Structure 1
Amino acid sequence: MTARFHNPVDTRYGYGSLKELVSLTEGQNVALVIFPEARGLGLVDRIQGLLGDRLVYIIEDVQPNPDVAQLRSTYERFWRDAADCETVIAVGGGSAIDTAKALIVGTETGTFDELLALLATGKAFEPARSKALIAAPTTAGTGSEVTPWATIWDSGSQKKYSLHLDCTWPKVAIIDPELMLTVPAGVTVSTGLDALSHALESIWNINANPVSDNFAISAIRDILECLPQLYRDLSNKELRSRMALAALKAGMAFSNTKTALAHSISYEMTLRYGLPHGIACSFTLPLVLGLAWGQDEARDRTLQQVFGCDLITAQSQLRAFLHALQVKTEFTDYGVSAKEAEEIIAFAMQGARGKNFIGSQAA
């Protein structure tokens, strides 16, 4: 069988690579989407200094897990006041990049509700207009800079929307580890575990292929070794670089496979229990590893390249890794009863991401 791997994102990696913005946006009007703390860190002024007059619009009130309640007014202001911007630059974690992906998809009327109605169909659509996206992550974990997906939340209705169009692939990804030096311990862990989940989820996945496996295996090995060290030494430039590259590799892996069961479970844990995404999609990894093991010989061989040949030892290794990062690994640790956990897992198996899991057919 022929394996196919495709990723159209022009990727720039290395310390100081944020300066690439100058050549990438030459002659363009640019909008910036950035997280609220960025101005206090001097990052807004730094980007303004790089871009000068071409930076004509700034959105800096991005919230975690972008919700329709806030996105609606931001979206409609953007299309009213910044319609002449050719490019949107997203600088931040997954929430900033997801927000930017929602903004660049223009509707006929310029209203956000029209976009929601299109998303609610669950089908691909051709946007009335769109803008180019440059993504520069400030955390090592999201992978959003090399994938087309964005998650939009509706906490009021306990729903989520998944945005995925040709235009939501970033045109360019800039992975500059210098942007990650000030990330606090909790966010470093949460986003790093998101990257670990991306890599593992791309392996126990019906869409896995040898190319995505290579990215995933390398990412997992790096994260298992590097993240605990970085947790204890947050200002270490070499460790920040290694985690940035590991997260990029994990993003490349799942850019072709999508995620699977752990992420499907995470959506319920975030909506119902308010768990941050990186923790919500990683605390079940030892459990999901056990559900995946034995489902497919080829997938087992890939997992065993990382964990060895004994499942119990593999699960123990993964739990010990998570516990060392102060992450609890049982549903009961998060106030979820055994019965509720069974219901969440069963429901997650039926979700779009759950159906990517190699064990979903046997469930």
Structure 2
Amino acid sequence: MAGAAIALPRVLRIGAGTLGDVGDVLRDLGVSRPFVVTDRFLAGQPAANRLTAALAGAGMTATVFADAIPDPTEASVALALAAMGDGRHDCVIGFGGGSPIDTAKAVAVLAARGGGRMRALKAPHVEDRAGLPVIAIPTTAGTGSEATRFTIVTDEATDEKMLCIGQAYLPVAAIVDYELTLSKPARLTADTGIDALTHAIEGYVSRRANPFSDGIALLAMKAIAPNLRTVFREPGDRPAREAMMLGALQAGMAFSNASVALVHGMSRPIGAHFHVAHGLSNAMLLPVVTAFSASAAPARYADCARAMGLASEATDDAEAVARLVSELRQLNRDLEVPSPRAYGLDEGRWRALIPVMAEQALASGSPANNPRIPSAAEIATLYEQAWEA
């Protein structure tokens, strides 16, 4: 196996109450003038007040931008960059789920370059020149964005979710406080949890996997699998919430250092064209894509089944893979994940856009990391199967 270049945040603060450490983290990084990116809902929650109070207690005054939107666009990033002002800020704090953190990453990179468009930075371009330091504080156990070298920004002119890659997007610090997830509603808990599971599975089966990503992806699956249904049904279960938050972080580390694959490649066009939340679109696709892909790497998928407690070492690979596919289908039923049809998407528009979505999925590059590399026609068939699931 070729050597792997592993990249992780420089600082990790993990555990209950670590949100209060934000001032110490910034001070240790040598920064003191934060620009906080969050969304309108979170800005009105007690956690946001705790964040600004902790900064004030450390003698730091933050500018808060609370207009991050789901699936950030070039226009929304430009709005945040304009709100940042004249360059007096020396770091960016992303506070929220994947969208505020992705917005924070994009703003940090563009601010260091004096502006510009994210379109110029989309894959296959790799942006490794440092932007402003990003401190990521996730409030969902899902995206793992606090530990990844990726950000996603939509070009609203073409409805393309642009994948942007490079060390510039890797947060220098992550504060991972599971208490921030205790109030999350069931639907968000489910969607972000399956997102994290998808990251772990795809990070493990990716053609770019390596010994480091393998180990941490398996740890993520072991943390997520026994706790996902629990946090959906019992949102106040603190040990389960803690396990999910750690698993999401580990899954983020895994796929950041191995890359995602076909599920993500197909998921992004669904989000761009139909505005389905990223975690939910991953969940809609994970069973059918796993069933399609497993024949090309049965031992790897069997390892996933064993890590998730679905099979033992004595179970042969074929049986383990069958159990994995069955479990992913049952998980969607238990977490009330709708198919695209049940979600209420327009069938005519879905079918008309399948060729476009298939080409956009391929162009993203992620399907090339899949154990079974699909053609555009095969991706189109998978979209058809997902519709009927």
Which of 346, 351, 354 matches 2:367?
Answer: 354
Compared with structure 1, are the counterparts of its residues 165 and 327 closer, same or farther at alpha carbon in structure 2 (3 Å cutoff)? same
Structure 2 unaligned regions, length at least 5? 312-316, 379-389
Q: Secondary structure at the match of 1:234?
A: coil
Alpha-carbon contact 2:8-2:148 (below 8 Å) kept: no
In structure 2, the residue matched to 1:145 is 146
SS of aligned partner of 2:231: helix
Q: How does 1:266-345 map to 2 (within 5 A)?
A: 266-296=267-297, 298-306=299-307, 307-308=310-311, 309=317, 310=319, 311-329=321-339, 334-336=345-347, 343=355, 344-345=357-358
Partner of 2:55: 51
Query: How far apart, in 1, do the equivalents of 2:128 and 2:203 lie?
Result: 28
Change in 2 beyond 3 A, CA 1:347/1:34: closer
Q: Following the alignment from structure 1 to structure 2, what is the Cα–Cα distance between the partners of residues 169 and 155?
A: 24
Q: 1:196 to 1:126 in 2, by over 3 A?
A: closer
Q: Which residue does the alignment assign to 1:119? A: 121
**Which of the residues 73, 76, 82 maps onto 2:82?**
76
TM-score (normalised: structure 1): 0.89
Cα distance in structure 2, aligned partners of 1:284 and 1:139: 21
In the alignment, structure 1 residue 90 sits paired with structure 2 residue 94: yes
Cα distance in structure 1, aligned partners of 2:203 and 2:113: 38
SS of the residue corresponding to residue 157 of structure 1 reads coil
Root-mean-square deviation over aligned CA pairs: 2.6
Give the match for residue 212 of structure 1: 213
Q: In 1, Cα distance between the equivalents of 2:338 and 2:97?
A: 23
CA displacement 1:67-112 (0-9 Å, x = unmatched): 122222221231x34x12112111110011001001111368733x
Query: Of the candidates 110, 119, 126, which is equivalent to residue 114 of structure 2?
Result: 110
Partner of 2:180: 179
Cα pair 2:221 2:304 within 8 Å, conserved: no
Q: Amino acid of the residue matched to residue 361 of structure 2? A: A
What is residue 383 of structure 2 aligned with on the other side? none
* C-alpha spacing 1:241/1:144, structure 2 compared with 1 (3 Å): same
Residue in structure 1 matched with residue 70 of structure 2 by the alignment: 64
CA shift in 2, pair 1:18/1:208, >3 Å? same
Deviation (angstroms), 1:38: 2.4
- Distance (whole Å) between structure 2 residues aligned to residue 346 and residue 56 of structure 1: 42
Aligned residues: 358
Q: Per-residue CA shift, 1:20-71, capped at 9, x if unaligned? A: 2121223621211122122322223222221114223111111111112222
CA–CA distance in structure 1, aligned partners of residues 20 and 258 of structure 2: 31
Give yes or no for contact 1:5–1:212 (8 Å, CA) kept in 2.
no
**Structure 1 residue 166: deviation in Å?**
2.1
- Asked whether the equivalents of residues 217 and 305 of structure 1 are also in contact (C-alpha less than 8 Å), the reply is no
Q: Distance in 2 between matches of 1:115 and 1:179?
A: 32
Compute the TM-score of the two structures, normalised by the length of structure 2: 0.84
Superposition deviation, residue 331 in structure 1? 6.5
CA distance in 2 between counterparts of 1:225 and 1:54 reads 40
Pick closer, same or farther for the CA change 1:63–1:2 going to 2, 3 Å: same
Partners of 1:204 and 1:292 within 8 A in 2: no
**Percent identity between the aligned chains?**
28
Give the 3 Å change call, closer, same or farther, for CA 108–252 of structure 1 in structure 2.
closer
Q: Report which stretch shifted further, 290-299 or 130-139.
A: 290-299
Of 102-111 and 50-59, the range deviating more from structure 2: 102-111
Cα-to-partner distance string for 1:294-331 (whole Å, 9 max, x where unaligned): 21354244334244432443322210111100013577
Select 1:32's aligned residue among 36, 44, 60: 36
Distance 1:125 1:290, change over 3 A: closer
Q: Partners in 2 of 1:268 and 1:260 — Cα distance?
A: 14
Closer, same or farther: CA 72–59 of 1 in aligned 2, 3 Å: same
- 1:145-164 to structure 2, matched below 5 A, reads 145-164=146-165
